Amino acid sequence: MKTYLKYGGAMAGGGFVVVLVIYLLGLHSDPGKLSLAQAVQMVLGLGIGIACIVLGTKERRAATPADQDFGYGSALGAGVMITLFAALFGIVSNILYMNFINPGMVDVAVQAQIAKWEAAGMSAARIEQAEGMMRKMMSPGISAAFGFIMGMIFGTIISLISAAFLKRPPADELQSVSN
């Protein structure tokens, strides 16, 4: 449990630091720069996620005695547990960011989306209707829930892939290979 907490916390903390740096660079205050901010956040977040899941799974495998199985299911379980803790910590950091650090983030995101809709030729009436729905969907609570779900999906995908490389064959297979 300690390993999952440590690497899940590191994963969420690393993602939060990326968001804070993007915010401090002013990329979350300008609708024109929001696409760049999202791309940077996605790439760096993916890198942090992969690193934390792989390192945490390796630590969990090393802590498992050599005579015990640490197969695909165990490796996958370790990655998913790390992801779960990261997603739970992510809820807290998302709410903290949206409510206290950058409460104007929703307005910036809405402005960026309206500019895209206008460029696509959407009517003013449809834009106004869509804006109301977008503001509801971007409330801190719904945004945090969506972040949790997406974090779990992407973390599970990373865990599914990494488990194939980080599993350890059963002890009886190791003995038969060495003989």
pLDDT tens profile 109-134: 999 999 999 999 999 999 999 999 99
Q: Distance (Å, rounded) from C-alpha 65 to C-alpha 158?
A: 25
Q: What is the mean pLDDT of the chain?
A: 94
| Average pLDDT, integer, range 130-141 | 91
pLDDT confidence tier of residue 172, bands split at 50, 70 and 90: low
Whether pLDDT at 177 is above 70:
no
Whether pLDDT at 176 is above 90:
no
pLDDT tens across 76-103, in order? 999 999 999 999 999 999 999 999 999 9
70 DSSP β-pair partners: 168
Whole-prediction pTM:
0.91
Provide the token pair at 151.
């974090």
Q: Distance (Å, rounded) from C-alpha 28 to C-alpha 37?
A: 7
Q: Quick check: 14 and 94 in contact, CB under 8 A?
A: no
Dihedral angle computed from the Cα positions of residues 50, 52, 58 and 64, in that order, rounded to the nearest 10 degrees: -130
Domain ranges of the chain: 2-170
Q: Distance (Å, rounded) from C-alpha 155 to C-alpha 157?
A: 5
Local structure of residue 12 (DSSP, 8 states): H
Q: What confidence score (pLDDT) does residue 30 get?
A: 95
Which residue's entry shows tokens 């460029």?
Answer: 119
Whether pLDDT at 19 is above 90:
yes
Whether pLDDT at 173 is above 70:
no
Q: Distance (Å, rounded) from C-alpha 115 to C-alpha 119?
A: 6
Q: Quick check: 103 and 93 in contact, CB under 8 A?
A: no
Per-position b or e across 16-54, b if 16+ CB within 10 A of its CB: bebbeebbeeebbeebebbeebeeebeebbeebbbebbb
| Average pLDDT, integer, range 64-73 | 93
pLDDT confidence tier of residue 171, bands split at 50, 70 and 90: low
